[in-house]
Structure 1
Amino acid sequence: MIFFAAMRHQMALMRASWQFLVLLGVLQPVVYLLIVLSKVPATETVTAVMLMSFWGSTVWSGAGILRREKMEGTLAPTMLGVRDPRLVLLGKTTGASLLILAVISVTVAAFVLLSGRSMAIALPFWFGVGLALVAVTGTAAGFLLSCLFLLSRYGPQLSALAVAPVTLLSGLLIPVSMLPGWTRPLSWVINLRWVQEFLAGAARGTPDFAALGLAGALTVVYFVLGAFAFQRVTVLARKEGTLDLS
């Protein structure tokens, strides 16, 4: 199936560029952990670091798939081929999300283990459900942002701009209650906030299923918005023939 073929292809590309994978999946979370962890790390802090690292990796890997294809001259065959290009893009963003999440998870677990610190997870099953949602969320965000960044001439600049504000507004390390009042409503549309609340609750033994539902709903919204953005990409590629010139 083309979806799984595209997923495997993207994973192979990322493994071939192992320096980039090490930078995003190993060095990035380790630096975060060294900065924020005290003697006895709170599980909530560890999950926040995982999500921060995953978001940054999503922006620089999955969200740049179409733009990289444009730079490498493979965008036209992807968009104009006999295979459904949506399945190709979804497969590639899924592959990027799964691989980077796996690397980050192993890195964080190894860091906690080797540092002699503890990380208690009261409900492993629901914590695993939360991690699965993280992968789906990364796919949805990568799908949407990949199209938006391609439609703009300032994709690299938007990539850099997308990391810090989302991390801050989602309340991963700074509680939303400490943010200026006018910014707090913005956190409602960032599903990382709700994923973090669910993961932290599952680790404590009190999972917040309302947060899980909101995170899932926002992920669906991201997919829908991505579909609209992808339609615009398709129009530029197939009807106007201007995509490669933008």
Structure 2
Amino acid sequence: MSGTALFCQSPDQCLRAIGIGGVMRSRVAIIGAIVVVASAGVLVYLQARPSDSPTLLQADEMLPSVTAEDWVTYGDHLVLFTVTGESRGEFVPDEQGSGQGMAERLITTSVDAVLWSRPEAVSFPEELDLSWGGWRVEADGRERAFRYGPSVALDVGVTYVGMMTYVELPGERPFWAFLSTAALLPAQDGIVGEGDVLAITGDGASTYGPDPEGTGYDVLDAVWGAPVNDLVALLERTPPDPEASEFMNEPAVERYADTLSSADG
């Protein structure tokens, strides 16, 4: 299986939307629930950054991922994996031969362990291959690297921990996704926050770190700098949103919609 970090059903669609965070090599996307459908208009903007730093793309999230309650309500599996390689993908078909377009950054990984699972969740696959950002190539050969934010770089040799969600949409093939790009964290040597940085903006200077005032990401504030086991323990002691209790067997997107309707009604 493979993964992505934005909502789309193929690398072609994701790259046109500038919206992927990781796309399944089988041409089924895996989101980071910052999901935007290309045909619906892309809610993405570019942030200023040095010329040698990737552009950080921002988009609206499809599922909530701020609190531990969000993670256990809409996430399926907390997965520990190590990045084993990277390569450059080809232009999408309708851009091939033009000399310009979007090229994927393809990531191979080794799944080290599934650390936590929602009781009702679909079983997690044994392999996780990703498309994580990439390059915008201009006709004159200039390239502009990009990825999605807030997000890690996914460097070769580094271990990460991420909350994965199985997404089912009407009329579409199901696909795996990160709950959001902020639900994918470096975890080198078993410590959350080690081995990579979580870029919050694209200026090359703003990265996540301990903040006594809080950052708006409750899970990160709770576990950054702590052992991965502390994140697992946090999830294990956190109950799902009670408003979602009767919808836990539904697909994640439908579950969220029904939970909102129930709370409003």
Instruction: Give the TM-score taking structure 1 as reference length.
Output: 0.32
Q: Which has more strand, going by share of residues?
A: 2
Q: Which has more helix, going by share of residues?
A: 1
Instruction: Give the TM-score taking structure 2 as reference length.
Output: 0.30
The structure whose RCO (Cα within 8 Å, separation 6+) is larger is: 1
